[in-house]
Structure 1
Amino acid sequence: MAISLLCFCLITLVTLILFEKKIKQSKWNLPPSPPKFPVIGNLHQIGGLPHRSLERLARKYGPVMLLHFGFVPVVVVSSREAAEEVLRTHDLDCCSRPKLVGTRLLSRDFKDIAFTPYGEEWKERRKLAVRELFCLKKVQSFRYIREEECNFMVKKLSESAVCRSPVDLSKALFWLTASILFRVALGQNFNESKFIDKEKIEELVFEAETALGSFTCSDSFPVAGLGWLVDWLSGQHKRLNDVFFKLDDLFQRVIDDHLSTGRSKDHQDIVDSMLDMIHKQGQNGSLNLTVDHIRGVLLNIFLAGIDTGAITMIWAMTELARNPNLMKKVQREIRDALGNNKKTITEEDVEKVPYLKMVIKETFRLHHAVPLLLPRETMVHIKVQGYNIPPKTQILVNAGAIGRDPKLWTNPEEFNPERFINSPVDYRGQYFELLPFGSGRRICPGMPMGMATVELGLLNLLYFFDWSLPDGMTHEDIDTEEAGTLTIVKKVPLKLVPIRVM
């Protein structure tokens, strides 16, 4: 009798709480929502390219839109004004991250920087990373590596130029960014390392980004293990675990190599720096670093540092190849500024070519490598554009949609670098119409390192070579079809014929 009475009281209490919550929310001005199905919510409206699906929905339902991914409320922001409210006005209130199954596993229970929820540990970790790993002094110390790897790329492309054969620029630029990152972060020569297979690394990056960007039932249906069962049956858990073990094996080999006696090195890479931090624990305040933290940070560098820079350069070369007059204009500026007898390009040369910088900005605008910024999660109730957003709501900023917003950009689908002439807009997170690196507390800490690679890589391609199309192709044949989940790549690899001119 007593147990029955207790159960009745508990059920009544839960019912009252849910009823009170429903009444409270009914008084809120929630963002507009597309019609949803029971249980799955709006998942059926998200296609193979989520940023495009969400952009189309936003045109109909507005720049602040409430969706439900299963049982999880998600607010999608698709305007400059709303993005500024999220990323600046309410930055502190919604700078946490949702605890997702994939990010938890690959970051070793949130031992990283990018995916870790907001808190004191994250703040200390971020502060340490910005001060010790990604500071300007550190970025400049790796300058000679970027210059050497760009020289190596030019040498390999020159070999193809001799016989006028097409090269796969998509692969060449991926290998450039990977070569730089592996030396800077891991102390490994991408082309000579005993335990690095170039082809498998490209495949691993793709697998990791696909696994993280794919739908996971465990996150959208966290009810009585039902989501976990569906993920197990669909193979999603297996895909995540396969990627985890491959990454773990790679990172462990790198760490073991750094700990081996008699290891020779020509610079202190990021793994060296973090191992030094572990040995000096007392000097780092309350932060307790472990080898798992090294693995977590390496995950962030591995995913954000290789693919995004290569993607930006590939899209830039794609658009220039599609617009030969623009190609000639930027090459003329570069060659006039640098002269005709340079054997190698240095990073000082980047400051002499403002039109190239406009080309990069326009590439960021039209082809965001990560069009949906990593999801945020509200920690308290906030208002965005007058709409109520409760705590524990995920927020997605569709930077790709903002970059193509006709209210902000004239002829937004046109590649036109000259729109940035006399424009103060840049990519550093203070102008919310252009957000390739995010903004606020969660802005990408590797931005200076990534920009240095993109600028130098493109400068080498455009100074030393003219570029023609493979036989039988015209400029109109170069497509811009997209593919990907977390990052958005050119679906068909870009193949061009290099002609050495300098």
Structure 2
Amino acid sequence: MWDRVQKQKKLHPVAKEMEDTTMYLVLAISFVTIALNFLMRSRNQQFKNLPPSPFALPIIGHLHLMKQPIYQTIHNLSQKFGPIMSLRFGSRFVIIVNSPEAVEECFTKNDVILANRPPFCHGKYLNYNFTTMGAANYGDHWRNLRRIGNNEIFSPKRLNGFQELRKKEVGNLMKRVARVSGENAGKVELRSMILDLTFNIVMTMLAGKRYYGEDVSELEEALQFRDMMNQYGEFAKETHLGDLFPALSSIDYNGFVKRMKTLSKNMDLFLQRLLDEHRADRDRNTMINHLLTLQETQPQLYTDSIIKGLVMIDDVDFGFIDSMLRMGYG
């Protein structure tokens, strides 16, 4: 009996130390929670007259409400909180506009105010360090890119120059539809065919190459291009934790940034190879050759990086559309 009492006395300091550790841990967690709530409230006070918003959890904000499909979730929230509402994704405040009238006002009266983009890692690694039209902030560089796009790429004269090309691709599509319809008792899956048509028209205009559908001459190069577009589409569906929680920006969860850097390097090598091919063959009627011609007279405005960025943004826009269609937006 005496030995048991002595043993309990010897263990008592250990138990007391564990109890003290637990108390300090609870106090630390409470302090961190209170501090985070204070910071979030202080941050909220910086934005006055915010639109209505659902209840937000500490730290994560409204991320717990974002369930697939996202567009349906946003629609359901807008039915409850109105066509304009505010959300918080981690440390990022977001204004959701779900009204045609409000959207028109955003893109007309307030277009300059809303022109900038947050510095997400997509823009850094997949958009030449925020220098493409889709990632650059409003300023001289962005205005130059818009001028190039309006005058040299999407002008009526330039697009009309590729009219026969578009007619040819549409003709190929109709022949393919007729053949598949005959083989499958009239059943045709048009979505993939329309996407193939769109990619082929864009890439033939840009580089004189077809990478989708039938009659692809450079199969290995086409497979590489398709793989890069698929990867880009997958990245469009993901968000790096550091973009929402800056404190975690140094943590490469699941190798997200590493994979993005690899894709960025592969895309740059691919696009540079296209530019080098066009420099060796200046007779092609393509957008790249037109931009290279302008580079000769205005090299500071038409650098290789700018040309590659213009080509890439046209490609990946359709890669993004493809991704959205696969997610059920179309």
Same fold (TM over 0.5): yes
**C-alpha deviation, 1:72, in angstroms:** 0.9
CA distance in 1, matches of 2:265, 2:47: 48
Q: How far off its partner does 1:48 sit?
A: 3.0
**What residue is the counterpart of 1:186 in the other structure?**
207
- Write the mapping of 1:53-68 to structure 2, written as runs, cut at 5 A: 53-68=73-88
| 3-state SS of paired residue (2:88) | strand
Q: Which residue of 1 aligns with 2:309?
A: 296
Structure-to-structure mapping, 1:17-416, within 5 angstroms: 22=42, 25=45, 28-164=48-184, 166-190=187-211, 191-194=215-218, 197-223=221-247, 226-229=248-251, 232-260=252-280, 263=281, 265-267=283-285, 269-281=286-298, 288-305=301-318, 308=321
Name the CA distance, whole Å, in 2 between partners of 1:175 and 1:43: 35
SS at match of 1:228: coil
Aligned amino acid, residue 157 of structure 1 = V
Cα distance per residue 1:113-143 (max 9 Å; x no partner) = 1221111111112112211111011111100
Distance change in 2, residues 1:489/1:25 (3 Å): closer
* 1:422 alignment partner in structure 2: none
RMSD between aligned alpha carbons?
2.9
Report which structure shows greater RCO (CA 8 Å, sep ≥6). 1
Taking only the aligned residue pairs, the percentage that are identical comes to 23
| 1:286-305 deviation digits (Å, cap 9, x = unpaired) | x5332111121112100224
Q: Displacement, 1:80?
A: 2.2
Q: Which amino acid aligns with 1:153?
A: L
Cα distance, 1:173 vs structure 2: 2.0
Unaligned runs of 5+ in 2: 1-37
- Give the match's secondary structure for 2:250: helix
Does the 8 Å contact 1:271/1:294 carry over to 2?
A: yes
Q: What secondary structure does 1:65 align onto?
A: strand
The Cα offsets for residues 199-226 of structure 1, whole Å up to 9 and x where unpaired, read as 5544432321220331211211112xx2
Q: In structure 2, what is the Cα distance between the partners aligned to 1:61 and 1:278?
A: 51
- Change in Cα spacing, 1:93 to 1:271, as seen in structure 2 (3 Å) is same
Looking at structure 1, the residues matched to 219 and 269 of structure 2 have their Cα atoms a distance apart, in angstroms, of 10
Alignment correspondent of 2:11: none
Give yes or no for contact 1:69–1:220 (8 Å, CA) kept in 2.
yes
Do the aligned partners of 2:230 and 2:319 also contact (CA within 8 Å) in 1? no
Distance 1:222 1:183, change over 3 A: same
The 8 Å contact of residues 187 and 265 in structure 1, kept in 2 or not, is answered as no
CA spacing shift, 1:233–1:97, aligned 2, 3 Å: closer
Superimposed CA distance per residue, residues 225-266 of structure 1 (whole angstroms, 9 cap, x where no aligned partner): x2330xx12232133223323322321221121122xx2744
> Is the Cα–Cα contact under 8 Å of residues 232 and 320 in structure 2 kept in the other structure?
no
1:306 to partner: Cα distance: 6.0
**How far apart, in 1, do the equivalents of 2:129 and 2:293 lie?**
22
C-alpha distance 213-24 of structure 1, shift in aligned 2 (>3 A): closer
Is the 1:103–1:212 contact (alpha carbons within 8 Å) kept by the matching residues of 2? no
Secondary structure of the residue that 1:177 maps to in structure 2?
A: helix
Higher alpha-carbon deviation: 152-161 or 90-99: 152-161
2:97/2:103 contact within 8 Å kept: yes
Q: Which one has a larger percent strand, Structure 1 or Structure 2? A: 1
In the TM superposition, 1:399-438 aligns within 5 A as: none
Q: Following the alignment from structure 1 to structure 2, what is the Cα–Cα distance between the partners of residues 26 and 489?
A: 35
CA distance in structure 2 between the aligned counterparts of 1:96 and 1:234, rounded to whole angstroms: 29
Given that 2:282 and 2:289 are in contact with CA atoms closer than 8 Å, whether structure 1 keeps it comes out as no
Distance 2:263 2:73 in 1: 27
Partner Cα distance (1:305, 1:208) in 2: 10
In the other structure, the counterpart of 2:15 is none
Residue pair 1:185, 1:271 contacting (<8 A) in 2 also: yes
Superimposed CA distance per residue, residues 26-74 of structure 1 (whole angstroms, 9 cap, x where no aligned partner) = 7932211111121111111112332222111111122111111110111
Structure 1 residues 193 and 306, CA gap change in structure 2 (3 angstroms): farther
Contact 1:36 1:42 (8 Å CA) reproduced:
yes
Give the Cα separation in 2 of the matches to 1:264 and 1:70: 50
Match of 2:34 in 1: none
- Cα distance, 1:195 vs. partner? 6.2
Matched-pair contact (CA < 8 Å) for 2:233–2:320: no
Where does the alignment leave 5 or more consecutive residues of structure 1 unmatched? 1-17, 312-368, 371-481, 491-502
Query: Contact conserved, 1:31 with 1:64, CA < 8 A, in 2?
Result: yes
Is the contact made by 1:133 and 1:273 (CA closer than 8 Å) also made in structure 2?
no
Per the alignment, do residues 33 and 259 of structure 1 end up closer, same or farther by CA in structure 2, a change over 3 Å counting?
same
Alignment-derived partner of residue 27 in structure 2 = none
Residue type matched to 1:187 in 2? G
Q: 1:271 is aligned with what amino acid?
A: I
Contact persistence 1:218–1:227 (CA under 8 A): yes
Structure 1 position 155, deviation (Å): 2.5
Q: Number of residue pairs matched? A: 289
Shift of 1:108: 0.7
